[in-house]
Structure 1
């Protein structure tokens, strides 16, 4: 199942793949479907290789008219191809398995109406679960799909859906039809797609920059269509199309653009060419924070950017995965800020994306942006904060360094030269060098090929009347990753205006390099109330404040007129608390005193998450319960004080229910759920009902009877997931044992149900409920890793690690497991090491908080 980079290189040297003709029969029952693949390819005459096919049963293999014995050449994952001709035709007919893991061809049954919905998810190595394929990104080809399915279904792929032809009709199985799609353009197998079932859709169209009419579609399950705000999605799509076509100088490369919201999806979305799939929670059946609406917009723009960067031009091998993801992450934020209503998208980027990058870059598993990817296991754990968020942050830094117009000029030439091909990092850098006149080899070496994050601090002196007499920027790195990098950044001076607001009174943009950079241009200025390094968030670095600026930030962070500098100051405070430089309780106080005045929904969302993490991990254990209860009281006060019907009111109410633990607090949760207490403007809709009920379950105030009653009220897929989480959260040894058995001892749970149950299992007030499972965790995870699919195994290994038990015993057990594991499974080792680091960080922060 694991393909190495060396194997892929060898195979690419041997082969040129022309086309796949794929016939799928989806009418053969609930377990398997029939897949027949005809592959046309050239090869070095006389050579031998293999093709990928994850099969249940192989019925026929025919190579150049010669039948091969499946028992001799097929092992369920690969088919050996001996003695190839210069031109070859391979035919493979097999039964393949439907999946419930969100990989391959995922099968879901809607509990509302019993209808079956299918969709594919192929990145990284799972197109081989649906058809026979040379599964690597640099062996591009055309793909023609022919699909037989129930006649009343809709069938969607990368090319326009054709008129179906009725294939069979009988009383037992009902009518079935066949959809024969036109061949795709040349593409990698991982961005092909098939979505099938009684999906419903809303249609529209737009005109591309080259005058073509591009059909648009937005799809969802029948039971969700009433919640689908298709016009908002179309509006964002049109804005993104216009922005990208202008910036890239290349018309949209495909014939249509469908966006499909599918059930039990593992990620936010997937950039299948012309048929993007999205997680179904982006169809909002209840009110969500404005931050979630913005996140959906960024995701829509991210996937649209992939149509050019990833689908039209594709990395040669997975070590350049960052080229796909970082570029799409940067461009989606740029498009949101410049072309949509989300003008403050860079504020969200600063606190959400960069926060993710900084966390990932301080783990023991951190790696260069251009990572070493030896095999498929390596890449599957590399969809991380380095590949996405750090890479996008560094691209933002590069744009500041070379200039935005020069950057885009290089990108336009890159697309003109490499459309429909595979590339490596050097191909992009050479075009950016030509466009900007900058030599990027040293920049690439320092930024893309080394790991770790630098820290920047101001150092200055003043005379008796507060005039700055010297100013320098100090840069440091940790011993393990000692690289000192060049930065293009801005220094902002902030003072109070006549209304008391903190406003920028001076800005200087400069290049910073080395451990100490003198800034003579700031000498002679009066010391402001606050000095902010990396103003406008151009650089990728951790920022510390001087003592006077830190005092100002604690007292006046809410007084910033603009959201971005306020967010940068808060991010610095959070980072210092995580690093154990400042007491965690100080950060709790900072959030609770200032979050009520925050106007940016995404910042509120992240601050509340960070508050929860601080209370769960970083405050001292002996104070944890009391501080958590006090925080819940403060959050309830904030909810009551918030404007009726506001986003803040909703977020504070949800956060209060999460932290509620005392009898009076749980009484309030129960009253909100029953309607005995009403917050003006707050609608307790179905999803909020589940949150309130789960809070009562965790607090021991509700149980199976109440969960069953709520599920009867909400007998939907979302309701089933919420009920699964609530049952796993029941605070009894028996409930935890039942959840553990379903998660670890059995392998039957679908991906979404497993994810929900893990969330419920680990949601406890009394952490001793989790202690009996620590030894069982370490005894089980190696078997989980080897017997489950990657997505399922990673959920269990990360989700069930005893992170809440921040003790030396947890570290000792982890170290014993890692010592026994050795180096045999580096990807499993990485996941456990990352979790271990969280406990080490928590213990360090707790020591400072005492």
Structure 2
């Protein structure tokens, strides 16, 4: 079953019985390819005579010794928990076991580099997976010190939360004995081991300490690691956060490690942050990706204070950890690095994600009810990260940045090395700002759904505004109206550009808020509510402003204002208020003048989705062909070597649909056609080949040949996607079976196979997978870990079909499986909601 559960009630009961002092953990990584020896000694106090359990998922528990008495391991261990009875007031427990390596990114992940055959290990413990490596009281409020002793090949790098000691060498084996950590939660402990390449540096913290820095990646990627740049961003982040928070960095060193087959973007292990290898750029990437990497580096650094130094008591406040880091990292990116447009990127990416998640049937309050670990897993979503970060931005506007940071600093000072709840932070913010936040918290954090704001105005014959108000509405199933701090911008044409000439900031509340300050003003060409994107709300433009925006989108001077208009147009398309074909035209007519990389990236992705699933089926093929034609023209006209040129070529390869398109792709691939400034490197070659495969102009032979020249981890992932892209029913079935029926595929091979499966021009090639998918749901869920089950059930769902038949199959499964695990039902419910939204959009486009 995906994830062995722990309820909040069980955690509270255990925390009332037990306080943990220390862990001594010895790991022997020289015992083979499948298991490693784990020896855990835990010292803890308890209510005398009490009974509880410690968590440990292992292959074999060899011995359990409690207070000097060896217990019958077979009687007290069920493979997930070890029962502990008749505890003393002070206890020492030692568990010796064989724990298992994984290839799912949940526990101690083992990877063999196809380039040189070297083995690389790294841990990933959030949410409940330190128990896969050592015996642990696996809940965030049972903090302790952790001292790791690691035996491994002597040539390896071994990295944990504390500075790496000199190993004791015995032949080809080394043993590293790390000093104990400060009191931290088990989920942020870490171990990374293998022949990693390392670059070292240091910085001086605000309290005068020298903080060692390390930058690690696999040896076969070392030539691509731009360590100097990443160290520079890290130093800027340290200086910014220490100054803003008023608290020095709390740990002894700071290592950043880029690790293979990572499930997420990064993980905030204390002093030992792991990142996806996608951030080691072996080929050209978009500026959007470069900026995202900076935000991620700073996101994880912010966690060293918010999450690691001060930690939530239980996972219902997970959102606060992630939301704070997302908001703080965007602020730091905008104010301390060269990526000064970070808030435009935040609007384009995070807000879009949040609005999409918040309109699903599965939406939930930011402060969600987390009854158990299964609830935690499904709530790692756009509400936790993106909506939470957006609402924190609104809170900062509400109380003021200076007061917010003063409150945060006081919060760190009062609760260092402890566990907190939301109320602890709000109390400090109220003290610092003088604003009562109880009602604000109830309305924003304890209710679900997104409001819609629209201007209502009257204008006389002379163009003078005679009445102005902002109307607020809420969906019927989440009817809460909320207070918003926002700005209204007036934009007019000046020197051929739409520029803001006036701005008003105010509080909006209730169904209608009158804005008398704007009465008597000359109506501008464009009225933009939520200017500067302070509020979390969908916005609509009045009719005249909408016409201005659509006809002159590329002329809006401010990138954030453009992003708001782009977002409003896409939102109206998703809601079926405007035809998808109009959105296609909007993108094709304006994207060539867009300057912001993330805005381009998002608009191109939405363009593809609109053409493939939102446009009415009767005009879909023509639309896809037209989009391909125009994207190639945009690529051909873009500035040589520009980010836009690179993005247009990639988008063209992704949607190419005709023999002429295939000929262009082939000529780019073989070098008979060139674009000034465009380098066809390894990753772009795979994109071009993918387009050829999509059009039947290349197949298994060409994929195999490309893989032979790029037999790397990345090359194998691209090859899995290309094979799944082959546009025949037989190939789609084979791709589906390769990951659904076989348990050996790694997490990233599953992900890339899903991307290829969905990569179609004629979606009818997926019709046979509708029944196949729904028949496999329960078996996938029952046989895989949570991460793998979710990856399969999301990646293999034939969403691009967007047909009534697909919707009916999902409805039938939900009706027949009302008692299925809520986390599993949620995945299918969200899929169904996406199909139903696409069907409404298709009908509007008709």
Question: TM (normalized to structure 1)?
Answer: 0.99
1:843 pairs, out of 835, 839, 843, with 839
1:61 pairs, out of 51, 58, 64, with 64
Cα deviations by residue, 1:764-823 (Å, 9 ceiling, x for unpaired): 223222111211211111121121011100011111112122222212211111122113
Listed as ranges, the matches of 1:810-825 within 5 Å are 810-825=806-821
2:160 pairs, out of 137, 140, 157, with 157
Computed over aligned residues only, the root mean square deviation of the Cα atoms, in angstroms, reads 0.7
- Give the Cα–Cα distance (whole angstroms) in 2 for the partners of residues 102 and 96 of structure 1: 15
- Give the Cα–Cα distance (whole angstroms) in 1 for the partners of residues 320 and 733 of structure 2: 44
- Give the Cα–Cα distance (whole angstroms) in 1 for the partners of residues 161 and 210 of structure 2: 16
Number of aligned residues:
843
Give 2:519's aligned residue.
523
1:37 pairs, out of 24, 40, 46, with 40
Listed as ranges, the matches of 1:1-12 within 5 Å are 1-12=4-15
Deviation at 1:727, TM superposition (A): 1.2
* 8 Å contact kept, 2:612–2:761: no
Give ranges in structure 2 of 5+ residues lacking alignment.
Answer: none
Cα deviations by residue, 1:740-770 (Å, 9 ceiling, x for unpaired): 2211111110111111111112212232221
Give 2:777's aligned residue.
781
SS of the equivalent of 1:804 reads helix
Give 1:355's aligned residue.
352
User: Within the alignment, does 1:144 sit opposite 2:147 as a pair?
Assistant: yes
User: Within the alignment, does 1:52 sit opposite 2:55 as a pair?
Assistant: yes
Give 1:85's aligned residue.
88
1:649 pairs, out of 633, 645, 649, with 645
2:294 pairs, out of 297, 306, 310, with 297
- Give the Cα–Cα distance (whole angstroms) in 2 for the partners of residues 291 and 224 of structure 1: 21
Give 1:172's aligned residue.
none
1:134 pairs, out of 127, 130, 137, with 137
- Give the Cα–Cα distance (whole angstroms) in 1 for the partners of residues 419 and 455 of structure 2: 44
Give 2:753's aligned residue.
757
- Give the Cα–Cα distance (whole angstroms) in 1 for the partners of residues 631 and 727 of structure 2: 24
SS of the equivalent of 1:298 reads helix
Deviation at 1:196, TM superposition (A): 0.2
- Give the Cα–Cα distance (whole angstroms) in 1 for the partners of residues 792 and 152 of structure 2: 34
1:809 pairs, out of 795, 805, 808, with 805
Listed as ranges, the matches of 1:389-404 within 5 Å are 389-404=386-401
Give 1:736's aligned residue.
732
Listed as ranges, the matches of 1:201-212 within 5 Å are 201-212=198-209
Listed as ranges, the matches of 1:566-585 within 5 Å are 566-585=562-581
User: Within the alignment, does 1:15 sit opposite 2:18 as a pair?
Assistant: yes
User: Within the alignment, does 1:262 sit opposite 2:265 as a pair?
Assistant: no
Give 1:232's aligned residue.
229
Listed as ranges, the matches of 1:514-553 within 5 Å are 514-553=510-549
The more displaced of 416-425 and 749-758 is 749-758
User: Within the alignment, does 1:454 sit opposite 2:457 as a pair?
Assistant: no
Listed as ranges, the matches of 1:27-426 within 5 Å are 27-167=30-170, 169=171, 175-426=172-423
User: Within the alignment, does 1:634 sit opposite 2:637 as a pair?
Assistant: no
User: Within the alignment, does 1:438 sit opposite 2:435 as a pair?
Assistant: yes
Moved over 6 A (4+): none
Give 2:701's aligned residue.
705
Give ranges in structure 1 of 5+ residues lacking alignment.
Answer: 170-174
The more displaced of 754-763 and 70-79 is 754-763
- Give the Cα–Cα distance (whole angstroms) in 2 for the partners of residues 821 and 15 of structure 1: 39
Question: TM (normalized to structure 2)?
Answer: 0.99
Cα deviations by residue, 1:67-96 (Å, 9 ceiling, x for unpaired): 111110001111000111100000000001
* 8 Å contact kept, 2:28–2:151: yes
- Give the Cα–Cα distance (whole angstroms) in 2 for the partners of residues 176 and 616 of structure 1: 56
- Give the Cα–Cα distance (whole angstroms) in 1 for the partners of residues 292 and 469 of structure 2: 38
User: Within the alignment, does 1:560 sit opposite 2:556 as a pair?
Assistant: yes
- Give the Cα–Cα distance (whole angstroms) in 2 for the partners of residues 617 and 681 of structure 1: 33
- Give the Cα–Cα distance (whole angstroms) in 2 for the partners of residues 230 and 506 of structure 1: 44
SS of the equivalent of 2:257 reads strand
Deviation at 1:733, TM superposition (A): 2.8
The more displaced of 127-136 and 798-807 is 798-807
Cα deviations by residue, 1:517-545 (Å, 9 ceiling, x for unpaired): 00000000000000000000000000000
User: Within the alignment, does 1:466 sit opposite 2:469 as a pair?
Assistant: no
SS of the equivalent of 1:536 reads helix
- Give the Cα–Cα distance (whole angstroms) in 2 for the partners of residues 588 and 242 of structure 1: 44
2:606 pairs, out of 603, 607, 610, with 610
Cα deviations by residue, 1:485-512 (Å, 9 ceiling, x for unpaired): 0000000000001x11000111100000
- Give the Cα–Cα distance (whole angstroms) in 2 for the partners of residues 225 and 160 of structure 1: 22
Deviation at 1:737, TM superposition (A): 2.4
Give 1:692's aligned residue.
688
Cα deviations by residue, 1:640-663 (Å, 9 ceiling, x for unpaired): 000001110000000001110101
- Give the Cα–Cα distance (whole angstroms) in 1 for the partners of residues 837 and 529 of structure 2: 26
